[in-house]
């Protein structure tokens, strides 16, 4: 944890790990986590498997 939150680099782990608390939806605002984290291909595949994704980019 960093300042009470998880860094984006752990997002693929949170999406891919089954069980209680597994991430099944994602909302991003003014950002694209796939281009801003290491191992972006893994995160891209993980996000593709989510039930719900919303991206807001004003």
Q: How many CB atoms lie within 10 A of CB 1?
A: 7
Instruction: Return the pLDDT at 16.
Output: 95
Going from the C-alpha of 35 to that of each of 9, 20, 39, 40, the distances in angstroms are: 11, 28, 9, 6
Residue ranges of domains in the chain: 8-56
Instruction: Give me the mean pLDDT over the 2-11 stretch.
Output: 74
Which are the contacts of 14, defined by CB distance < 8 A and separation ≥ 6?
6, 21, 22, 23
Task: Say if residue 1's pLDDT is above 80.
Answer: no
Give residue-wise pLDDT tens across range 19-53.
Answer: 998 999 999 998 888 888 888 999 999 999 999 99
Instruction: Return the pLDDT at 5.
Output: 64
Strand partners, 52: 25
Residue with the bigger pLDDT between 2 and 14: it is: 14
């Amino acid at each position: 944890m960093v300042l009470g939150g998880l860094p984006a680099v752990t997002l693929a782990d949170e999406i891919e790990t089954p069980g209680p608390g597994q991430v099944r939806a994602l909302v991003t605002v003014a950002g694209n986590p796939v281009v801003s984290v290491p191992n972006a291909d893994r995160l891209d595949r993980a996000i593709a498997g989510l039930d719900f994704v919303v991206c807001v980019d004003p």
